[in-house]
Amino acid sequence: MNFKRALRVWQRNATVYKKLYRSSIALNFFEPMFYFLALGIGLGGFIKEINGLTYLQFIAPGIVMSSAMYAACYECTYGTYVRMEYQKTFDAILATPILFEEVIMGELLWGTTKSLIYGTIILIVMLFFGLVNNFEVLLLLFYLIFCGLIFSSLSLIATALVPGIESFNYFYTLFLTPLFLFSGIFFPLEEMPSLLKSVFQFNPLFHLVNISRTLFYVGINGFVLYESIYLILFLLFIMPLPFLLLKRRYLL
Amino acid sequence: MYAVVGKSLTKYYKNLKALDSVTFSISAGECFGFLGANGAGKTTLMSMIYGFIMPTSGEIEVLGKKLQKSNLPEIKAKIGVVPQDNNLDPDLSVLENLLVYSRYFDIRKKDAFNRAKNLLKFVGLYEWSNANVRKLSGGMKRKLIFIRGLINDPDLLILDEPTTGLDPRSRKQIWNLIESLKHSGKTIILTTHYMEEAEKLCDKIAMMNKGKILLIDTPENLSIKFGGNLEKVYFEMTED
Ligand SMILES: Nc1ncnc2c1ncn2[C@@H]1O[C@H](COP(=O)(O)OP(=O)(O)OP(=O)(O)O)[C@@H](O)[C@H]1O
Ligand SMILES: [Mg+2]
């Protein structure tokens, strides 16, 4: 694996994005903002406080993370699939000095970049709402990258396994939506039945949301580092899979 | 000196045998044509030469080195590929397609730009530089794919049906280009369904049928052996 060659693939995606972002950036922006406003203001009117935070404050850090998550997922499912199967972009690239795993690394890094871009935009909006009072929140950029790597990898695994593009519906409905809803963004998971609680301990978004909320209102502490360990282990465990599975799917 | 040597190359796609123990050698500086019916295995063989498809068994040597993963980038850097299918970047303009492609070869931006400009001028696409590739006609896309394969000034050119879909004048133009590339010492491997093209350009021809190479010879010798032009040879050799 040559990192520079992987970056060439990243750069190709960035070039295309630079031309087309105007037509897609709004979509990625409005969806999380609708959740934030509808639930934060609407539902927030009925909920006094959670752990000393207003409801709007409570959900804001999670919305930053989930928008980063969805950005990586859209990119590395639909985006990668179209490049691989329809546009034959991979075929074209593989006729140049670039190797297959470098193409995949480029895709992974690009998905991660999308996480960073969209997570940062939502974070900036939250700053404008005056929800953050602590500049250690900038460490969140680092965790947006983490979020991107994890969910780009998971999405590329889905891309390697789907028989066709319609099948991504399963990935979103049966996998990502539960991860999103049971991540502690909208309600604390502590009150859940203990079986569910232990299942959702495996949810990487849950840990990312914990980290995000702590960085928003407390700053870096032992808990953030403790949560990071789980994420590192999770990432190390899943990151080889997209390479193996996509190779199996794609290379003849 | 051989540019490409294939030894008993066999390729299975699941249970389908696409190549059946194919052996051949292509001298440096030669224009070598693969002819054969649809599905004969030409594209499969071409894709093996640049490591896109791995043989199920057999060995392949390209530009003096046994093809393996460790030297694949180095070998691919010296190859130019014109694929049979369109895989241009539909979101990019004509010029951007060439520039993005040149970055994969690590060509400096300024050099790439100059080279792209000359190539575009040569095939009459310069005025289209900033047009989206979706706006090109089929033949224009074909020409763009052709010059994209030349952006790295390759030693070995792999042309999979380079002139399919071109009008007669454009075809002549590409033939002239291929001939001048040949004169500048490049090795050219070509597939085509136009016998006239093979006759005109190729120093040697391999006749393929159902995954096998039936014979390899010069077009002249083939015509003498079979008492007629290449078309007659083709029909006699590729009978079902
Ligand atoms: N990706 C693939 N998966 C499965 N089978 C394939 C694949 N590509 C080609 N084949 C099969 O392998 C055989 C050889 O195909 P190939 O594309 O090499 O033929 P070709 O000589 O280039 O034909 P054409 O003149 O139509 O381009 C065919 O039977 C084809 O169906
Ligand atoms: Mg073919």
Q: Which of B74, B76, B96 is opposite residue A96, by nearest beta carbon? A: B76
CA separation for the pair A183, A69 (Å, rounded):
12
Q: Does A12 touch chain B (CB under 8 A)?
A: yes
- Burial code (b: 16+ CB inside 10 Å, e: under 16) for B42-66 equals bbbbbbbbbbbbebeebebbbbeee
Q: Higher-confidence residue: A38 or A176?
A: A176
Rounded to whole angstroms, the Cα distance separating B213 from B206 reads 6
Using the structure block, give the residue that is written with the tokens 């952006």. B151
Identify the band that residue A78 occupies on the pLDDT scale cut at 50, 70 and 90: very high
Among A residues 168-207, those touching chain B with beta carbons less than 8 Å apart: none
| Alpha carbon of B208 to ligand 1 centroid (Å) | 13
Q: Which domain holds residue B34?
A: 1-78+186-240
Residue A53 pLDDT more than 90?
yes
Which helix (H) or strand (E) covers residue A129, if one does? Answer: none
Per-residue DSSP letters for B147-184?
HHTTTT--SEEEEESTTTT--HHHHHHHHHHHHHHHHT
> Is there a domain that residue B220 lies in?
yes
Task: Write the CATH number for B72.
Answer: 3.40.50.300
Domain-embedded: residue B156: no
Q: What percent of chain A has pLDDT over 90?
A: 78
Instruction: Starting from the CA of residue B159, give the closest ligand.
Output: 2
Atom of ligand 1 nearest to the CA of A252: 1
Strand pairing partners for B207? B35, B215
- Residues of A within 8 A of B86 (CB-CB) are 88
With respect to residue B161, please indicate whether it lies within any of the assigned structural domains: no
**Contact at CB, A97 and B85, closer than 8 angstroms:** no
DSSP output for A157-202 = HHHHH-SSGGGHHHIIIIIIHHHHHTSSSSS-GGGS-HHHHHHHTT
Q: Which of A151, A191, A194, A148 is nearest to A175 (CA)?
A: A151
Q: How far is the CA of B159 from the centre of ligand 2 (A)?
A: 10
pLDDT bin (cut points 50, 70, 90) of residue A26 is confident
B175 in any annotated domain: no
Q: Is the ipTM of this complex over 0.90?
A: yes
Distance set, CA A122 to CA A29, A65, B157, B213 (Å): 7, 9, 49, 61
Count of the separate structural domains present in chain B: 1
Contacts (Cβ under 8 Å, ≥6 apart) of A69: A115, A147, A151, A176, A179, A180, A205, A208
Task: Quote the pLDDT of residue B240.
Answer: 64
* Total length of chain B: 240
* Ligand 1 atom, smallest distance to B193 CA: 25
**Whether the predicted pLDDT of A27 surpasses 80:** no
Chain A contact for B89, CB < 8 A? yes
Measured between alpha carbons, how far is B143 from B145 in angstroms, rounded to an integer? 5
Task: Tell whether ligand 1 has an atom less than 6 A from the beta carbon of residue B192.
Answer: no
By CB atoms closer than 10 A (0-12, 13-18, 19+), residue A41 is exposed
Rounded mean pLDDT of A59-72?
96
Tally: H helices and E strands in chain B = 9, 10
Q: What is the pLDDT along chain B (240 residues), one digit of tens a residue?
A: 899 999 999 999 999 999 999 999 999 999 999 999 999 999 999 999 999 999 999 999 999 999 999 999 999 999 999 999 999 999 999 999 999 999 999 999 999 999 999 999 999 999 999 999 999 999 999 999 999 999 999 999 999 999 998 999 999 999 999 999 999 999 999 999 999 999 999 999 999 999 999 999 999 998 888 887 888 878 887 776
Q: Whose CA is nearest to atom 6 of ligand 1?
A: B13
Whole-angstrom Cα distance, residue A46 to residue A164? 43
pLDDT in tens, A90-132: 999 999 999 999 999 999 999 999 999 999 999 999 998 888 8
A39 or B189: which leads in pLDDT = B189
Predicted TM-score (pTM) of this structure: 0.95
Query: Domain residue spans in chain A?
Result: 3-251
Task: Find how far residue B38's CA is from the centre of its chain.
Answer: 16
The encoded tokens of residue B99 equal 């520039």
Nearest atom in ligand 1 to the alpha carbon of residue B208 is 21
A160-207 residue pLDDT tens: 999 999 999 999 999 999 999 999 999 999 888 888 888 888 999 999
CA of B193 to the centre of ligand 2 (A): 10
Q: Which ligand is nearest to the CA of B18?
A: 1
Residue A132: the pLDDT is 84
DSSP 8-state symbol, A50: B
Give a yes or no: residue B195 inside a domain: yes
State chain A's mean pLDDT as an integer: 94
Contact assessment for residue A162 and residue A175, using Cβ atoms and an 8 Å cutoff = no
* Those residues with Cβ within 8 angstroms of residue A84's Cβ, 6 or more apart along the chain or in another chain: A90, A159, A246, A250
